[in-house]
Every structure is written in C-alpha cells, then in structure tokens.
Structure 1
C-alpha cells in the first residue's frame, strides 16, 4: 500500500489511528447536550461553527470500558456520509507518517462483524496500529438516527 498520514489517538490506553484525510479538524472537548433515545455511545450534540454536530464516544462504541473526560480529551471532526460528526477520543497523541510497506490491509478475520471499520494495519517498528475508517464506524441504521441540523458537509 502507498504512504499515508494518520491521526493517532488513545482510547483507554489503546492506540488507534485514522487517515488524516478523514479528519477535518481536532477540537477541544466540550460537553454535549444529551439527546433522548440515542444509543449509549452517541453522547449528544454540540455547537460547531453554528452547526449542530452529533458526537460519538469511540471508547463506548468500541466497548473499551468507561470513558472518563480529562483535559486531554479531544473531538475529531469528520464526515459520515454527507454530514459532519464528532468522535470523542481520550487524547490525540500525534500525526504519524506511514511509509510504503508500513501499511497493509487488515486481515479478513479483523474485518468481520463489529470490527468491519478496521480497514488497515499500520506498522512502526514493533508497534501495530489499527487504522479505522471513521465513515464506517456506524451502521446504516445508526447513521439514520444521528441528530441532524444545519448545513451538509
């Protein structure tokens, strides 16, 4: 696979990445307004550039335990379909460049079921990074339940 830049982030002590091209902006955490009858991992909505932005907690989405908020907590702003959405992460650690040969397709066993959003594996020395596809973290039914308002992306 060709070279790639990835935003590396921490989810309860585990490092993940997302292609930098999928991340529109990294913003400081702000407390979302709760929305009724949403899945547990959809935290609510925030005001982002005069637009209502639904916010998804990746720790809860990936079922990695509790999701405490700290001064390091960030929101990755990205697109899901034709709308912007935010993903809460414990911390953004770095922007990492993977050279050709350091990225490969995730094994087919990883791409099954709920882990279908893990598309690539990045390798740096002995460390492996699961590179997730932010646009495919939610299923079609979940995407339709996202609170919407404001301009489309």
Structure 2
C-alpha cells in the first residue's frame, strides 16, 4: 500500500520529565539554547519572564510549571522552543529538543482519559511509535485566553 505526503505531519519532538511531546514544525520558529530571561512581576507562575531574541522581546513559558511538574535546573540540554501562538511568538522551556519526525495524520489517536491529569485541553492526541509514546500538544491551548492576555500585556508594557 502506497502512502502519500498529504497525511504527513512533521513534528518537533521534545522532552519534559520522562515523557516525549510533539509540536507541529510549521508552528515552530526556532529552537534556542537557554539565554538570560528577565522576570516580570505579577505574571502567572509558569511565565518565566521575557527575553530579547534578535531584537524581539519574547515571553517565555516554563512548560514544566505550566503542566504542574516539578521545576528542574537548567542543563546543557535545556532548550527554548519559539512557537507562533495566534499572532504572537512565545518561548517554551523544555528539558531537551530531541528530534524532527514525520508521522501520518491517521496515526494520531485521541488522548486517553488519564491524560486529564496533564491538562488534557492542551493535548491534541497521542502517537504510538514502535516502543515510544508521543504526546501531541495543542500549542494554541497551552495558554488559555486569560493567560494569553497576561502574556500579551508583557509585550505591550516592557522594554529591554
């Protein structure tokens, strides 16, 4: 049986704790090493702050804290994945960015009920790959509407 590229989805695979997650490549602008992040008072606890990325002030979200995981110290493998969420760019701190893979759209399964613990509104589905399980994120839902407003306000009221 021949497969076509029509159903292919290209994903960035990244690690949080002991799990692998995926985000669609077309929403990823860049993957950066950790850089200086300026804290901004009065933001949700998962908003790490902002950073100046090539002249653009970018809000940075700690995905571990967003998903209620334990905070981890920054290591050589820690990365910031810059993604487009709506009209704005946001950086997502992850433990590591592992891979870029192609999957068939038909291989994406609904998230199991137990995924509700990990805030299932953010989970688009899961993909089984040989001996791996990949959790696909809804990047647009990683931040809810109120949180997006708080992060957008960071962009309007700051200068680095």
Q: TM-score, normalised by structure 2?
A: 0.84
Displaced runs of 4+ in structure 1, greater than 4 A? 107-113
The question of whether the paired residues in 1 share the 8 Å contact of 2:81 and 2:94 is answered with yes
Q: How many residues align?
A: 150
Task: Please state if 1:143 is matched with 2:148.
Answer: yes
Q: Distance in 1 between matches of 2:117 and 2:73?
A: 28
Aligned to 1:77: 82
SS in 2 for 1:88: strand
Task: Please state if 1:51 is matched with 2:51.
Answer: no
Q: TM-score, normalised by structure 1?
A: 0.88
TM-align CA RMSD: 2.2
Q: Distance in 1 between matches of 2:107 and 2:119?
A: 25
- Which protein has the larger Cα radius of gyration, Structure 1 or Structure 2? 2
Task: Please state if 1:114 is matched with 2:119.
Answer: yes
SS in 1 for 2:155: coil
Decide which structure has greater helix share.
2
Unaligned runs of 5+ in 1: none
Unaligned runs of 5+ in 2: 1-5
Q: Distance in 1 between matches of 2:96 and 2:11?
A: 14
